Structures are given as C-alpha cells and as structure tokens.
A and B are shown apart, each in its own frame.
Chain A
C-alpha cells in the first residue's frame, strides 16, 4: 500500500497535503507552517545527503543565506515579499554555486567538515564584519507589503502558500528522481568512479545538485523570514545543523516522503515534547540510537517494508 503511494506522484502529493491539512487544523496553522518550511529544508538537504550520498554538516549556511538574502532585500531594496523570496533563493543558490566546485571534489568527512567550516565563516560574517547591515546579534525586523489577499501577516494565507511551495518542491524532486539526471545521481552515490568511466564528468552533475540543494535550503530560509517577519543569526547557526541531519535520518534518507515524515517527526518532538519534558533532547538521542540499530532506513523506510 505505502509502496503504491510512493510509486505515484499524485498520491504522494495528496498524502502530504492531506497530512498537513489535518495536522494543521487539529493543532495550529502557525506551527504547521513552521513544520512545512522545515520539511522544505530537509528536502533540500536530502538532495545532497540521500540522493548524492554526501553528508553535509553545514547546510544551515544556505538556509541562512536565503534568510539574509530575503531579509536584506526587504530592508534595503523593497518590502515586496516575492522579491524577498527570489532574493533568498538566488543568494543561497549563488553560495552553492560558488562553494560547490570545491566541495563536490571532496567526499566523506572532508565534505562534511568543509561545509561546517564555511557555515562557521558565514555565521561569523553575519555576526561581526557585516553587523552594520545585518543587525549583528539582534538581526533585522522586517515588514512586507500586502497586495489584497496576498498578505504575509495572514496566518491562513501563509499556511497555504507554504503548503503549495512544499508540494511544488516535492513534485520537482519526485520528477527529478525518475529522470536520467536522477538515475545518474543514484549511480554516483553507488559508485562514482564507474560513472566517470561511462563518460560523465560527475563533478559537474554533483555541482548542479549542490546548487539545487542550496537554493531549496535558501527558499526555506526566505519563507522562514516571511513567516516570522525578522531574521537573526540563529538562522545560520552552525550548531543547528544537527536538526536537519536528524530529521533526514529519522524519516529515511533519499525518499521524498521520508524527508517530510522526518521533518514533521523532528518538529513534533521538539515543539510538543518540550512542553512536558524539560530535557527533551535526550529523547532525540534515544530515537537516533533506535534508528541506528533498528530502523536503518528511517520511519518511512521501515513502514513501507512492513
């Protein structure tokens, strides 16, 4: 049954939409908007981790680039929310394009730590040398223009907008998975050198994937800024990288529904468990141990094989 859903793009999108609508109206649209934005981030991160097979410890850099791209655009160029979204996407994609050629030539621990190093640099730049324009530790408080019913301070509007963006991102990734590019990336993950022997410059394809991944993470950052109306250094904080890694592992890497399930599960634990248990992070640790020893393919990976 679950495999059947996963095999069909419309059913997958329907499942995601129905799940968030039900969860949103049963709990809170505000929280669910947050959850969906985080899922977009997990989907972007998973392009590099689940599909390309490289673990990045520094994807908060691209989320932050998107957030600051959107924030600075709103602060210094125009309060147009769509311009802010485009700026966030562009700045993060550009960061991926610039850093990608170096990063995709590395693998394993080197790839993970170089990403972390760039994230640290980005965090420092925002906090110290660029503080006069980024607001430093205080961040930036922002207002966005409204156009009739297009109003980013309206909770329902932003919920449906983010849901539409999430579905569009999921659709694109599902189409990508079954495309020749998707096949290529799957093969690069399995054995990169063999792919090179078929005549592919794998660095180029990995670079393109990295740019998409960074841009999607930036999109999540820009949406976060539109949702909250401010940006601050926590959006680029390298210590928060563990969140997206954890979510991807929890849901099941390399699967669209897995990323969404993982993102939602992580946000549920961190938002709701924290109300009742002071040191809720311990449960994340226990969950990680369970995943490592019992559910190697994550929650979705396990469910689809039951």
Chain B
C-alpha cells in the first residue's frame, strides 16, 4: 500500500493485555483499537505504562496474557524484527541514532531489510526536512536533538510502514524545534497511522484524533470528541 493513501479499517487491536516486569504487573487489561489513518495519543503521568505499552506492541516486551493483532495478524510475543517487517515501526524516546554512521548510512541500514531503494529513502527524508540534505554525509553523532528526531522519523518511514509508534518526540527539545517536529508530524498525519506518547498537551490537542489517558498501568479514559481534544484543560489534570 502506498504512503500517501489514507488507509481505512482496523489496523491495530490490543485486547486485554497484561504485562509483568518479573512479579510486578505493569499493564492491566489494556484494550484499545487504532483505525487506519488515525493519530492516537497516549497521555498520562510518568510511570503510567505508556512506554511499556508501546514496547509491548513493538515486540520488545512479551505480554503475560492478552493479544495484539496488527492488520489482522497476531503479533504479540513476536520478536521486534518480525514486527518491524510487518509494517510497524518504533521511534524511541531517547533519540539515539547510530552515531558512528553518517546520516546516509543510517538510512541505508534501515532501507536494506525493506528493500526500498536508498535514494528513495534519502528523497523522503529531504522532503520531510530539506535542511537534512546538507547533513547527509555527516556523522550522526554531530546532529542536534531536533535533527536526530527528524532522522529517526525519516528512518522509521522507510519501507512505507502502516503504523508508527513514537515515544515522546518532543521531549528535551527547544520550543522552536518542537514547532518543526510538530509540522513534520502534522504533514505525516495525512499519510500514516501513528500512536504517539506525548506529555506536551498543546501538541496533543493539535495532532490527536483520539486520546487514551493512562493511569497506573491501565487505560483510564478514552477521549474521541474532537472538541474536547482541542481543549487540553479537560485532561491536563491527568499529567
């Protein structure tokens, strides 16, 4: 399916998911659904289980019970490389790129398993953020936080995945950079489904089609009314 075509139908279904770290239960009976073309934000206080939920969907953690279906196929408990190749990509919170590689090499590494031509990946990155063209041959360790985030997003889009899992894309970035990232995410919104963990409620209210509020490892509330979404004061108390 081509990027640029807004998809319809159910993309991801999480059903009664429970996850433990050792003997401690960290996610309790999580159920949620993501439709094709939707941008869903997960909000909640630190420790609410947002990142754990993303990691479980991405294949990094194995659930103790429950199921995760992506495009109709069960993916719970599958290793991350298999989940990634099914069209689900994870953008980590810590903005770590492969620092010893150049920007171009970072893209090449991601392009190889998807069989997407490198030039297409480069073109897409430049399309997202034209300033990256000058940095293509620079070592990624020299990039600023914002540039790293752009590179990570550009890398995650290689192979035209169906769903992006993005963990706190604006954390630790300056206000001006956050605006740029927001523009990038907004431009992607029309083309790809996303689940974004975000604490910046201004950004959430601007981008989200739906919001899940998480509290103590469970879904506390779902907000799908766009009028409520655009008014962060309705859910800021949960942060």
Contact = CB atoms under 8 A, between A and B. Distances in A.
Contacts of B109: 180, 183-184, 187, 195, 198
B130 to A, nearest CB: 24
State the majority secondary structure of interface residues on A.
Answer: helix
B98 A190 contact: yes
Interface string B81-98: 100110001101000101
A157 B101 CA distance: 41
Contacts of A194: 92, 96, 98
Q: How large is the interface on B (under 10, 10 to 19, 20 to 34, 35 or more residues)?
A: 20 to 34
Interface in B50-89: 58, 60, 79-81, 84-85, 89
B114 A187 contact: no
Interface stretch (A36-44, A86-94, A199-207, A210-218): A199-207
Contacts of A190: 98-100
Contacts of A191: 96, 98
A201 B81 contact: yes
A131 B48 CA distance: 63
A78 to B, nearest CB: 43
A197 B84 contact: yes
A193 interface: yes
A31 interface: no
Interface string A179-193: 010011011001101
Q: Which of A180, A196, A199, A200 has most B Cβ within 10 Å?
A: A199
Contacts of A186: 98, 100-101
Interface-central residue, A186, A190, A193, A198, by most chain B CB under 10 Å: A198
A199 B85 CA distance: 5
B81 A196 contact: yes
Contact of B113 (A183, A187, A193, A198): A198
B223 interface: no
Given A180-B108, A183-B108, A193-B80, A199 B113 contact: yes
B112 interface: yes
B101 A187 contact: yes
B98 A196 contact: no
A245 to B, nearest CB: 23
A49 B219 CA distance: 45
B182 interface: no
A198 B96 CA distance: 13
A193 B80 CA distance: 8
A195 B98 CA distance: 9
A197 B98 contact: no
B58, B79, B109 pick with most chain A CB within 10 angstroms: B109
Nearest to B113: A199
Contact of B90 (A183, A197, A200, A201): A197
Contacts of B110: 198-199
28 contacts: A180-B108, A180-B109, A183-B108, A186-B100, A186-B101, A187-B109, A190-B98, A190-B99, A191-B98, A193-B60, A193-B80, A194-B96, A194-B98, A196-B80, A197-B58, A197-B81, A197-B84, A197-B90, A197-B92, A198-B109, A198-B155, A199-B81, A199-B84, A199-B85, A199-B113, A199-B159, A200-B81, A202-B81
Interface of A: 180, 183-184, 186-187, 190-191, 193-202
Interface of B: 58, 60, 79-81, 84-85, 89-90, 92, 96, 98-101, 105, 108-110, 112-114, 155, 159
Given A180-B109, A187-B100, A200-B113, 9 more contacts: A190-B98, A194-B92, A197-B80, A197-B89, A198-B81, A198-B113, A199-B85, A199-B110, A201-B81
